[in-house]
Amino acid sequence: MKTIEIKNQEKKIYDICLDDSYGHLAEKLIETGIKGRKVCIVTDSHVAPLYLKEIANLCCSIASKVIHFVFEAGEENKHLGVIENIYEKLILEKFDRKDYIIALGGGVTGDMAGYAAATYLRGIDFIQLPTTLLSQVDSSIGGKTGVDFRKFKNMVGAFHQPALVYMNLNTLKTLDDRQLSAGMAEVIKHGLIKNTAYYEWIRSNAEKILARDYDTLEYMIYESCLIKGGVVERDPKEMGERALLNFGHTVGHAVEKLKNFQLLHGECVAVGSIAAAAISKNKGLISEDDFCRICETFQSFHLPIHIDGLNAEDILAATKSDKKMDGGKVKFILLNHPGEGFIDREVSDAEILEGIGVCL
């Protein structure tokens, strides 16, 4: 098992654990203070048949009571109505402020379980057990929780740090190819905004990654967790540097909404990343060769770089509803070069339209 400590002012907040099974989970749960407390495992209809029984049995040896809440899988179910049902379950089971929620699944599950934990009784502890690549490298780390509101992505939420993030990397064996590729959009993003050498390593190891070579995946996930973990340590509530993690997400979220969430989040981030890279190229920040290599990198993981059925004006309008707006302006993440992202608050509508146009 490999462990990364996430700290705040030198004080540890939680561990990120990478393991090849749930073999060390019990001891890590005990470290959080879960022993003798009630536990609610929140998961979805896809993950429950695979891992719920194992996790519930493990928790039964530690907790005073273990219950579960299973919701129908899919982004379309990431809304306040499901959160209300979680609240009701917790109330009926008399959960108090010292009890725990465990999020078992992908990003939707983690975001919703975390938001329920952040708001139930003004906040109880929760634990992340991410089972998808995207949730392992991105959404389980950093304490962002929330739900979509009337098709506006993640507009209702709270910052609420987990007590533990524990990844069984062998859960990726049950992930379908499309979901694995979607997770790679966030991995590529980490390289593009923070680490040129890591970006080049990703490019060079595409075949091993897609073949799910365990050692390769372990190295990749560990490096991505180091990048994201470091950023959120320095900027836990997105007052500055953490905004870099939104590379590809402004246009990506707009596409996700306009496509009625029929595309996976990572697929939309890939399209948004190409638009951001195109704007960077058009502003003279990266070369044509850099841009082409970025396109090739996303394509090598079977991610889309074009989108059909939408027009640039509608995508631009949707970006103006994004939660990342700053003083009425779109806060865009661009690239000085592959490996160095920066925040640009002065990107014009014309520049955004031109960047989006590359993807249509």
Residue 82: the pLDDT is 98
Q: What is the pLDDT of residues 232-259, one digit of tens each?
A: 999 998 889 999 999 999 999 999 999 9
Question: Which domains are present in the chain?
Answer: 2-174 (3.40.50.1970), 177-357 (1.20.1090.10)
Does residue 309 come out as left (phi exceeding 0), alpha (psi in the -120 to 50 range) or beta? Answer: left
Distances in Å between the Cα of 222 and the Cα atoms of 2, 8, 234, 244 are 8, 20, 18, 19
Spatial separation of the C-alpha atoms in residues 306 and 150, rounded to whole Å: 26
Q: Which is nearest to 78 in space by CA: 144, 151, 138, 185?
A: 151
The one-character DSSP state at 329 is B
Measured CA to CA, the distance from residue 102 to residue 25 in angstroms comes to 12
Q: 37-50 pLDDT, tens per residue?
A: 999 999 999 999 99
Q: Mean of the per-residue pLDDT values for the chain?
A: 96
> What pLDDT digit, counting tens, does each position of 148-199 carry?
998 788 889 999 999 999 999 999 999 999 999 999 999 999 999 999 999 9
What pLDDT is recorded for position 66?
98
Q: Is the pLDDT of residue 327 over 80?
A: no
pTM here is 0.95
What's the Cα-to-Cα distance from 45 to each of 42, 100, 104, 314, rounded to whole Å?
10, 21, 11, 33
